[in-house]
């Protein structure tokens, strides 16, 4: 039990303890950890000698701390649990707790590279039917490797950042036209944040996920479907994706999700040796998508065909190096039912079946719309872990 008010029974209790970067009272960004509806100032805690992190909490991003590696991550986490549960530490720690309502959250880490995968069989099949009617839903390579694309790290933004409607080329009966996207969409995803890098030319094994991945964020990979449909052949996503990718302000440590690992779906055909992860495990994360405050979808992450460990192995199998701050995302999380779709492209079946949102109906996003993605996971002893939400509001094209 924690002595912190509100921690008992909170999905942000001491079994969670996600990391973030915050501003408070006009001060420079500081590193913190969330407990209940409070933020523990880790920069101040390290200055006071309460935690030891080789000075990494004196930085304005998590990168230096993430680069320290798993032994240090584990030691700091154990120390934080001790500080927040042992009443003898309350007099020293309590002055370092700041109400969450008083802080402004910043991007928690400097993004080195960004890769987005395409790991849900249900999503890939749905998109195949919508974009390529009359053809096989899955392309021949899909069940042999985790398909992905290299995104734009510089447009990864923290939750709450407004998203300006992108402009670009889209197809029309009279040829390509230029203007604001009229089929603006979301992609509800889960992202994995790399802490420890790897040298160029080195392959990272699927067995080494926990040695390299520091934690998990929720991701909304905003997508302009009309721009995407015109440009994606033959090289894939580009301007239809690169204008903005939102991530949650809180990074949930992988250690906090130890009880959320579950058997992943069986893979047929058998994958190549470098993609074999033993045990073959996914994460039981239960996502919720809200459109203007109304729940429209509940995508289940446990059913993803390709696992985070396989994605990491494939990402590096050609010798590509990892860097601290690399972000790789799962791709859209969708289940077998329409109400489990992780994109509005699927939810409205390409815009042909509008859904009711509030007092009206929607197919794709309109200016002023707000989308929020949340998620929970099972924790130890029947507790619930909440992942930091990712939210964004659409602004008109400039």
Cβ-based neighbours of 307, under 8 Å, separated by 6 or more: 206, 264, 277, 280, 281, 282
Q: Which two tokens stand for residue 215?
A: 């934690």
Q: Which two tokens stand for residue 306?
A: 């390709």
DSSP 150-211: E--GGGEEETT--EEPPEEEE--TTS-EEEE-SSEE--EEEEEEE-S---TTPPPPGGGHHH
- The residue annotated as part of the active site, out of 24, 122, 123, 202, is 123
Q: Are strands 163-164 and 384-395 parallel, antiparallel or unpaired?
A: parallel
Q: Which two tokens stand for residue 372?
A: 């929020």
Rounded Cα–Cα distance for residues 7 and 4 (Å): 6
Instruction: Decide if 250 contacts 12 (C-beta within 8 A).
Output: no
Confirm whether 280 is a catalytic residue.
no
Rounded Cα–Cα distance for residues 160 and 184 (Å): 18
Q: Can you say whether the dihedral through the CA atoms of 86, 91, 96, 99 is positive or negative?
A: positive
Instruction: Decide if 265 contacts 305 (C-beta within 8 A).
Output: yes
Catalytic residues: 123
């Amino acid at each position: 039990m924690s002595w912190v008010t509100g921690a008992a029974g909170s999905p942000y209790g001491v079994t969670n303890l996600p990391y973030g970067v915050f501003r408070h009272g006009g001060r420079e960004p500081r590193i913190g950890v969330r407990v209940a509806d409070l933020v523990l100032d880790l920069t101040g805690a390290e200055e006071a000698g309460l935690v030891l992190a080789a000075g990494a909490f004196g930085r304005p991003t998590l990168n230096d701390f993430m680069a320290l590696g798993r032994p240090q991550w584990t030691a700091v986490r154990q120390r934080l649990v001790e500080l927040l549960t042992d009443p003898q530490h309350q007099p020293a720690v309590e002055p370092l707790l700041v109400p969450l309502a008083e802080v402004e959250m910043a991007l928690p880490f400097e993004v080195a590279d960004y890769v987005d995968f395409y790991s849900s069989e249900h999503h890939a099949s749905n998109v195949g039917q919508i974009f390529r009617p009359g053809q096989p839903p899955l392309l021949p390579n899909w069940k042999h490797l985790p398909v992905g694309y290299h995104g734009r790290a510089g447009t990864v933004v923290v939750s709450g950042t407004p998203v300006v409607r992108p402009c670009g080329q889209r197809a029309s009966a009279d040829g390509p036209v230029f203007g604001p996207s009229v089929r603006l969409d979301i992609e509800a995803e889960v992202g994995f944040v790399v802490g420890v890098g790897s040298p160029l030319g080195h392959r990272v094994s699927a067995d080494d996920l926990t040695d390299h991945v520091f934690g998990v964020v929720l991701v909304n990979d905003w997508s302009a479907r009309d721009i995407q449909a015109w440009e994606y052949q033959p090289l894939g996503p580009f301007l239809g994706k690169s204008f903005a990718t939102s991530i949650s302000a809180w990074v949930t440590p992988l250690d906090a999700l130890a009880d959320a690992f579950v058997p992943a779906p069986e893979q047929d055909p058998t994958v190549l040796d470098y993609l074999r992860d033993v045990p073959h495990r996914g994460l039981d994360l239960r996502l919720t998508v809200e459109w203007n405050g109304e729940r429209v979808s509940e995508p289940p992450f446990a059913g993803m065909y390709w696992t985070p460990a396989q994605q990491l192995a494939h990402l590096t199998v050609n010798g590509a190096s990892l860097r601290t701050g690399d972000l790789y995302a799962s791709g859209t999380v969708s289940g077998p039912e329409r109400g489990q779709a992780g994109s509005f492209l699927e939810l409205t079946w390409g815009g042909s079946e509008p859904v009711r949102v509030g007092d009206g109906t929607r197919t794709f996003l309109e200016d002023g719309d707000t989308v929020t993605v949340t998620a929970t996971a099972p924790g130890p002893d029947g507790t619930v872990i909440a992942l930091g939400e990712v939210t964004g509001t659409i602004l008109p094209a400039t």
